[in-house]
Structure 1
């Protein structure tokens, strides 16, 4: 516990200008937008490259999602370790510039291999979210970090809402237009950051050197295992992120087949999920967590998330499904609370490695989660299933969160 105590009492850097924090917020939002903006147009673009072969296009779409997640998995620890050694500012700005230039590449390529390379680069450069979290840890007092991380979670939510909407709207004009728009936004944010983003990690608090042996997922796991309770908190975070992938994996198919919702209704309900999540992470976390503490907020969020998924999986009507959204939204308290508790267990010179490890393992959930939930959904609507249960994937997600709650209670006891 000595390591925990010393880390939690370490002084943070002096407060930075609000403009710098606005830049961090938009950087995280644009990282998520980078993922979401191409959702409506990438399948069509791939299909066009393949001469209209829908079957092959479906396989390539899945492969694109996997390589994006793998890029984050491999390079989030690298970026975190680099920021511990050379500072947060250069890593964040270089990643932001790289993402903007990559969008230009995606807008002009005319072959499938080049499109794949561009998507790999997008996964690598959008891994800067780990450094953004480290920046917040540098500049925020421990008791206020949950609220700050909640704002970053809200940025994710906004990117999730705006990305597909922007991509769908511009995709009607041209399949390349969403990429040009994203490039413009990201490069404008890079220019803004050049002027407003100060360094948050003073030279005397940086790591003595960049250790390539530790700047990888295995090195991140070693860091997590070296601090009391940190691996447990990481597992809670990963379990929560894994459960989240049930939504992109089966939501559209589930509500379309069970409730007969139109594309418009599906989009509106998904937007409502995003809006409720933003309200919780940007507003409720700031009010609730200081009053009840990160531990209770985390446990309440996990239980509410599980309850929401159970409602989704068993809802006999669309109205009951929608009623579960506000309950599910309270799940948004989990990640900021876990992040805040984890940062207390690591000294300032290793916050980048910590966030890199958490981001990397979360990306691993993105590699396996969609396939797992899709397989469960497909099995329980097939003739091979012992019982017809189209909501089985949501029930599995709820079970994962309940397991996460049990683990969270034990490691923070």
Structure 2
């Protein structure tokens, strides 16, 4: 199952996790900045709602438009990168993020911000799908360690993003948008001057390739689980800021703590679990613990205890960090297709969950009560655990491949 064609010729394994070529560090640095954009807006969600006179569900559309466009655009990332090359696909994605994040900061209505976040999501899709395959292909330490490095960049970006967002957001809600734009200019220059020209693949990807990849049972299983799990993930990201009772600085510190735990566990804990236990069991335990954690957030909200919610959000970083590394590693080994195609197929499905959940969380709080979004998120994550158990036989080959 692990033998597959690759757009990038994989380098022979040598050295440890941090013994990487400069090109890998350039892409990883740009990844950190890109993922900062995901959490940078968290601390300013209540401020945007107050200053632009928008409801929670309206503000949550910032995540919905971003994730929806990212998911749909994933379907064409392989088509684009196989024609213009990895480097120019990365640069095109970063350029779109620079432009649309700046336009978001210059907006005056919630509708404008939502629209520009969609353009930001398109750039994000071109970047992240290509960045993962680039890091894996250029790494000299093997696929597993390269993915850990990618997840470390994700965790670092997600943790620092809210902290910076809180600082900039305390000045103005526009600050984080302009901050992303400036930081991505730095990432653009790194990729432009440090990343070498990577040969285009001999075979061009078609628009049908991501759909064909989903015919493989292992990849389909992981995509369905991620779709369901994202309902919990983005309920935490997009809705929890409203019930913690904190200002921009406070929210930034909470999500910084969450992100630090996410980064630490993804790099140091997840590999140990994967080597000791099988994939389905490890993921099942982490998602079950995340389900319980979401229920605690709901109970804390019902009891009027913001402290309970704050602690539960931070602790969630442990389960999410481990699960992210496990599932990303599994996706790379789940189908005999290009890694970029496997990543795009999987991301297309999971981001659809990330598109629906923020808006739905806001609506559930308006229709029912403040705790209902957490209960619904917990239910969806638990259904993901059931899917994992029912279809675990499809993941056995991945465990065998990883052991080898």
Kept after mapping to 1: 8 A contact 2:58/2:110 = no
1:10 deviates by 11
**Given the alignment of the two structures, is residue 245 of structure 1 paired with residue 234 of structure 2, yes or no?**
yes
Q: Which residue of 2 aligns with 1:280?
A: 265
Cα pair distance change 1:8/1:101, threshold 3 Å: closer
Q: Which residue of 1 aligns with 2:369?
A: 381
- The aligned runs of 1:196-215 (5 Å cut-off) are 196-199=194-197, 202-203=199-200, 206=201, 208-211=203-206, 213-214=207-208
Cα pair distance change 1:304/1:41, threshold 3 Å: closer
Q: Which residue of 1 aligns with 2:16?
A: none
Q: Distance in 1 between matches of 2:321 and 2:137?
A: 23
SS at match of 1:7: coil
1:104 deviates by 3.6
Q: Which residue of 2 aligns with 1:224?
A: 214
1:96 deviates by 1.4
1:280 deviates by 0.3
Count of aligned positions: 385
**Given the alignment of the two structures, is residue 358 of structure 1 paired with residue 346 of structure 2, yes or no?**
yes
Q: Distance in 2 between matches of 1:208 and 1:278?
A: 35
SS at match of 2:88: helix
Q: What TM-score results when the alignment is normalised by the length of structure 2? A: 0.79
Q: Deviations over 1:251-276 (max 9, x none)?
A: 234455xxxx7876655443322221
Q: Which residue of 2 aligns with 1:308?
A: 293
Cα pair distance change 1:230/1:140, threshold 3 Å: farther
Q: Distance in 1 between matches of 2:6 and 2:101?
A: 42
Cα pair distance change 1:353/1:104, threshold 3 Å: same
Cα pair distance change 1:374/1:145, threshold 3 Å: farther
Q: Deviations over 1:21-58 (max 9, x none)?
A: 2222222222222233344557756876xxx6x24x65
When structure 1 is superposed on structure 2, of 126-135 and 36-45 the one drifting more is: 36-45
Q: Distance in 1 between matches of 2:8 and 2:280?
A: 22
Q: Distance in 1 between matches of 2:322 and 2:35?
A: 19
When structure 1 is superposed on structure 2, of 241-250 and 294-303 the one drifting more is: 294-303
- The aligned runs of 1:281-360 (5 Å cut-off) are 281-292=266-277, 294-314=279-299, 322=311, 326=315, 329-347=318-336, 350-360=338-348
Q: Deviations over 1:156-175 (max 9, x none)?
A: 33333332332332234345
1:12 deviates by 5.1
Root-mean-square deviation (CA, aligned residues, Å) is: 3.8
SS at match of 1:412: helix
Q: Distance in 1 between matches of 2:68 and 2:313?
A: 32
SS at match of 2:223: helix
Which of 384, 390, 394 is 1:411 aligned to?
394
- The aligned runs of 1:155-234 (5 Å cut-off) are 155-199=153-197, 202-203=199-200, 206=201, 208-211=203-206, 213-214=207-208, 220-225=210-215, 227-234=216-223
Kept after mapping to 2: 8 A contact 1:285/1:333 = yes
Q: Distance in 1 between matches of 2:392 and 2:21?
A: 35
Kept after mapping to 2: 8 A contact 1:307/1:398 = no
Cα pair distance change 1:309/1:398, threshold 3 Å: farther
Q: Which residue of 2 aligns with 1:399?
A: 382
Kept after mapping to 1: 8 A contact 2:43/2:165 = yes
Kept after mapping to 1: 8 A contact 2:292/2:378 = no
Kept after mapping to 1: 8 A contact 2:105/2:175 = yes
Q: Which residue of 2 aligns with 1:96?
A: 94
Cα pair distance change 1:323/1:243, threshold 3 Å: closer
Q: Distance in 2 between matches of 1:369 and 1:42?
A: 16
Q: What 5-or-longer segments of structure 2 have no aligned partner? A: 13-18, 397-404
1:108 deviates by 4.4
**Given the alignment of the two structures, is residue 14 of structure 1 paired with residue 11 of structure 2, yes or no?**
yes
Cα pair distance change 1:292/1:140, threshold 3 Å: farther
SS at match of 1:102: helix
Q: Distance in 1 between matches of 2:221 and 2:67?
A: 23
When structure 1 is superposed on structure 2, of 311-320 and 132-141 the one drifting more is: 311-320
Kept after mapping to 1: 8 A contact 2:40/2:161 = yes
Which of 79, 85, 88 is 1:87 aligned to?
85
Kept after mapping to 2: 8 A contact 1:249/1:370 = yes
Q: Distance in 1 between matches of 2:222 and 2:147?
A: 15
Q: What 5-or-longer segments of structure 1 have no aligned partner? A: 383-387
Cα pair distance change 1:39/1:238, threshold 3 Å: same
SS at match of 1:245: helix
Q: Deviations over 1:301-343 (max 9, x none)?
A: 3333334334444567677663785476134222322222222
Which structure: larger Rg? 1
Which of 28, 36, 40 is 1:37 aligned to?
40
